[in-house]
Amino acid sequence: MPKRSAGVLLFRRTGAGIEVLLAHPGGPFWKNKDEGAWSIPKGEYGDHENPLAAAKREFAEETGVTLAGQFVRLGEVRQTGKIVTAWAVEGSFDQTAGVRSNIFSMPWPPGSGKLQEFPEIDRAEWFALEVARLKIVRGQAELLERLAEHLHSQ
């Protein structure tokens, strides 16, 4: 059974069009990666947990921001052995204030026996949809298309 994650694709309307907020994963493996490395804020949830509640919780844990608004279900996508369920919501996020992400621990450097802590995400940024398509991990790219279709149909 694949792992399940839930997340939120936050978007805003600007004079230039639609922008989405993507998060860059923290830790040494992602430090120098950019295109194809960004993600919606998301995280795993349990079998008996409401996926939308999990998506909101994970967004808050990874960014420090609690979201409210009308959440639009974008459905599921498959991302490297897991299923990601996502919602979109229009809102704001001040990236200049930085993120207040939760922390994870891992042995680093490899084989050192030292446990180091890293933020789950090290930054979040707004991207125009065209740029976001280059930045987002391949398995989540479909979520951008679903958001664009939803907004176009309104």
Q: Which CATH number goes with the domain that contains 133? A: 3.90.79.10
For 111-149, the pLDDT digits (tens) are 999 999 999 999 999 999 999 999 999 999 999 999 999
pTM of the model as a whole = 0.93
Q: For residue range 13-30, what is the model confidence (pLDDT) as tens digits?
A: 999 999 999 999 999 989
Q: Coil, strand, or helix at residue 127?
A: strand
pLDDT of residue 144: 98
- Give me the pLDDT at residue 97, please: 75
Quickly count helices (H) and strands (E) in the chain: 3, 8
Residue 52's SS3 state is helix
CA–CA distances in Å: residue 52 to residues 5, 10, 30: 10, 14, 27
Looking at residue 114, the DSSP 8-state letter turns out to be: -
User: How confident is the model at residue 34, as a pLDDT?
Assistant: 95
Q: Which domain holds residue 97?
A: 3-153
